[in-house]
A = this chain, B = another copy of it.
Amino acid sequence: MSAPPARSPRVGVWLIGARGSVATTVVAGCAALTAGLHPPTGLVTEGPEFADSGLPALSSLVFGGHDTTDCPLPKRAEQLAAGGVMPHRLPVAVAAELAAADREITTGGPLPGDTRTAEELIAAFTEDLRGFVRRNDLARAVVVNVASTEPVATGDDLPPSSLYAAAALRAGCPYVNFTPSTGLHHPALAGRAAAGGLPYAGRDGKTGQTLLRAALGPMFAQRALAVRAWSGTNLLGGGDGAALADPAAAAAKNAGKERVLADTLGTVPEGEVHIDDVPALGDWKTAWDHIAFDGFLGTRMVLQTTWQGCDSALAAPLVLDLARLVARAHETGRSGPLGELAFFFKDPVGTAPAALAAQYAELVDFARQLGETR
């Protein structure tokens, strides 16, 4: 498994959206695994392929972050346990770790009525990050955006996700964008990202429907089956459903989903993707896909898939994986877009294959390389 925790220097994980469902599950889950309360199901980096990569141990991770709400993490964890996202006794069992992370959560912004300029906000966030590193004597801190999806940015102004990303650059922190929000993908940040000497990864974690599409698309291509229409409907409860019911926010998400099909199939099939806000589903989501394809001599066939998952439970271990991998990439001196982490994303940075198996092969190879660097 991972390297002995005793010798690991401490590594920070700074979560944008630190009081959300994903962040809360990340903090509680890391504590549960460190305490041996649960096996590391869903955590890719606990597999044998990563044992010698020099990744920071789970026990060495220190959590903090920005958020604009103020519900304490222990209370959020109680809410998630009531909704079945985590076991009922877990919030109590890891109460100390939740409280510790809660103390490292700072108010982000801009808040309603906030009159600070973009530069002032970036400066404030940068100072928050530096304080986190200093207070906790961290070898480094990785900034991970797990906030609700923003509407697609229009105009020149930096959206909030980009303000946080700019602060990460300025504070010398590697950056991961687990959402489809703009983050580092803003023209005004391109130069800084290139010059910053920091590794970064994103966008938009691949946790359900798109994960499936990345696994199934190559099957159709390899078998020379002609996909004519690939239609999908997502039913989401929780905050994500409400955020994505905004067509502008959904547009960002859907672009990633379509890219996966185009890249794995080589063509863009007919079909739309819907994202519905269904509060009754709570933290659960259901994705239905209907794939109409032609076989030999034009025979029409259909595959349907229904994926019922808990978004936070799917996302949280990947956030831990990414924080560990990007921290190690930073430690080994890598910089720029980490295309090797495309396995985790709908719309990966850098150059990367689209087929899930090929992405996994690249990831395993990257893990090996990380281990070779001293």
Contact = CB atoms under 8 A, between A and B. Distances in A.
A150 to B, nearest CB: 22
Nearest to A88: B88
B303 A229 contact: no
A194 B280 CA distance: 44
A95 interface: no
Contacts of A212: 216, 219, 303
B29 A297 contact: yes
Interface in A7-47: 25, 28-29, 32, 38-44, 46-47
A123 interface: no
Given A305-B305, A307-B303, A231 B228 contact: no
Contacts of A270: 278-280
Interface in A128-149: none
Nearest to A225: B42
A225 B215 CA distance: 14
Contact of A226 (B41, B271, B303): B41
Contacts of A292: 278, 280-281
Interface stretch (A152-160, A170-178, A308-316): A308-316
A229 B280 contact: yes
Interface string A345-374: 000000000011110100000000000000
A66 to B, nearest CB: 23
Given A219-B212, A310-B299, A235 B231 contact: yes
A42 B305 contact: no
Interface in A207-250: 211-212, 215-216, 218-219, 222-226, 228-229, 231, 233, 235
A298 interface: yes
A90 B41 contact: no
A271 B234 CA distance: 11
Contacts of A360: 218, 222
B32 A274 contact: no
A224 B281 contact: no
A233 B287 CA distance: 11
Interface string A284-295: 001010101011
B41 A294 contact: yes
Contacts of A85: 299
Contacts of A69: none
Contacts of A272: 274, 276
Contacts of A278: 229, 231, 270-271, 292
A96 interface: no
A223 B42 contact: yes
A269 B235 CA distance: 14
Contacts of A231: 233, 235, 276, 278
A217 to B, nearest CB: 9
6 contacts: A25-B297, A38-B297, A42-B224, A288-B288, A295-B317, A301-B310
Given A288-B288, A302-B309, A304-B305, 18 more contacts: A41-B225, A41-B296, A44-B222, A85-B299, A86-B297, A215-B219, A218-B356, A222-B357, A233-B288, A270-B279, A270-B280, A272-B274, A295-B314, A301-B307, A301-B313, A302-B308, A303-B308, A355-B357
